Every structure is written in C-alpha cells, then in structure tokens.
Amino acid sequence: MRVAMIDERRGQQQHARAFEKFGAELRGAFALQSHEADGARARTMPLEAIRMTREESVEHAQVKLLEERVGSLLVKSGQPCEATASGALLCRHTERVQLLEAELGGRMPTLPGMPSERRAKLRIAVNDDSMSTWFIDAAADFCIERELLLDVVVDDQDHTAQRIREGDVQGAITTQADPVPGWRSMKLGRMRYRAVCSPAYFARHFADGLTREALRRAPCVNFNEKDELQKRFIKRVSRAEIEPPAHVVPHGEGFVRACTSGLAWGMCPQRLIARQLESGELVEVSSGSRLDVDLYWQSWRLSLGWLDDFSAMLKHRAKSFLD
C-alpha cells in the first residue's frame, strides 16, 4: 500500500512538472502583438515559428500534448496563430506560478526543485512619457539589488489599464484610479505637460492668439491614435470640439523633435523639455498652457514579497520625479 502511494505521488509530481513545462513553453511561444489599425490585440507565434507550418513545428507537438492533458483547445490555427480563451488563461496561470516559485526559490534556495538562480520577471505596462522621463531611474536600483528582470510593454497611459483587464501584465502605470477587480491601486503623482511649439511655428499659426480657427488649422502631433492629450487641451482652452490636422509620431524623442522642428505643436512632459524651454528652442502656445495628468500604479492583489516591495519602492521614488 505504501509503495503504491509513493508511486502515485511520483506520478502526480511528474504530471505537474510536465504541465508546468508545457505551460511555460506555450507561454514562450506567444508574443503580444498590437494591431493599431483596429485596436485589436492577439497573442501570436514568433516569426520563426510562423514560417513553419503548424503540423511540422515542434511547438505544435508540445501544444497538442498539453491540449490533450487539459482537455481543451488552446491555439487557433492560422497565420498568425492565436490563443483561445483557455490558452490565454493558461499562460497567465503559468506566469503566476513562475513568479511564486521565483519568490520561494529566493527565500528557500536549498528547497529541492527550486533553483536559486531563477530570477523573477515582472511584466508591466508603462506609458512612453514615464519611460522617457523617470521610470527607469526610479526602478533601476531595486531591480539590480533584487535581481529582478523587467519586461516592459509601452502603451498610452490612458490605455495601460486595458492590459490589466486582459491579464497581459502584472502591473501597470495608468491614469485609471479605480482598481481593476483583483488588483490594487495607489497614486504615484502628477505628470505635468506643456503645450509647446517652436518660435517659427508660433509665428506662423498663433501670432493672433490661440483662437478656435487657429487651433482648427494648426497641425498638432499625437503619440498614437489613442493619444487624447492634445484634444483635451484644445477643449479646455477653446470650450469646443475641434479636430485639428494631426501627425502621428509614436516615439518620445521624435515627438519632441516634431515640436522643436516646427512641424507641429504638442503636449510634452515638462521635465522632458525643461532645457528647450529655457533656451527658447520651444515656447508655450499660450500662458498657463499646462495640463496635469494623475498617474497610478496598479498591481496584483496577490501577495508577493518582492512585488509588494516593488510597489512600495515605486511609490516612494515617484515622489522625486512627479509633481
């Protein structure tokens, strides 16, 4: 009886290890791909896997075995392949298990099966302006000390919360104050933006003031199709719904360069353009052109020692960079 119980337990452990292995491989087979044209998002196979047919790929055999184990279809065939709801759920579950094991391995390095060299990886969504101005400086020392790996997804601050709802990240810097169910939220601070342009651009478009007609004709620059900051500023100063011509420049430095070159006007983080404002390379389109955006950190409610510490660190360090 005792031998049978031991054999059964070994079988369960082997099954669990196989489940975790294939789950990790399935997670590794997917990468998040953003379809800006229609706003849809899908998990897709890497490029090298796409070149092979599903029937010939090693990934196919591994996924099929896992599908048999869990009794559910995990991947939709196609180019690119997409995860089913069950497949995406399994990916998120595997991520959480790996994070828990990484923490346990750090606290109990001698525990069998918990290699101490395994590093925790934190996948988070961060808006580009935070990446360009303060986030890396705030997080670097903590990540070095704890040997934490970052996997950063860059998105608009008004839309990083969608990443949370989709379960694609474990944390996000967002403008959404109310926590997503199962998450917790805390305020980090306020990022101040200024509506700026080059002196030559100002002379061409705003010499007679920031009128509705001038705002309707003057090209602005948006970070991407989801960027609403310029429209928010226009509505505040004109009290009208105006659709100006807009360039799209999805790059932090390129966005600022679009303003300094005279191509457009735009809402730029004050900390990012302090030098250009001081030198006169950039000017405000009107006095008092600031727009303040509150930023929040949302993370799993699941208690993880290093994730709790990361959240506390981020809140403390953000005070040095945000208003």
pLDDT in tens, 92-111: 666 666 666 666 555 555 55
**Residue 18 pLDDT exceeds 70:** no
Structure confidence at residue 318 (pLDDT): 95
pTM across the whole model: 0.68
Contact between residue 133 and residue 322 where contact means Cβ atoms under 8 Å apart:
no
Instruction: Label residue 236 by pLDDT band (50, 70, 90).
Output: very high
**Residue 306 pLDDT exceeds 90:** no
Q: How far apart are the first and last CA of the chain?
A: 67
Least confident range of 24-33, 53-62, 252-261, 279-288: 24-33
Which residue carries 């052109």 as its tokens?
A: 289
**Residue 120 pLDDT exceeds 90:** no
Structure confidence at residue 47 (pLDDT): 44
Instruction: Label residue 14 by pLDDT band (50, 70, 90).
Output: very low
Query: Can you give the length of the chain in residues?
Result: 323
Q: Does domain 1-118 have CATH number 1.10.10.10?
A: yes
**Residue 169 pLDDT exceeds 80:** yes
The full set of domain ranges for the chain reads 1-118, 122-323
Structure confidence at residue 99 (pLDDT): 63
Please list, in sequence order, all residues whose beta carbon lies within 8 angstroms of the beta carbon of residue 124, skipping any fewer than 6 positions away: 150, 151, 152, 153, 169, 170, 171, 172, 173
> For the structural domain made of 122-323, what CATH number should be given?
3.40.190.290
Structure confidence at residue 215 (pLDDT): 96
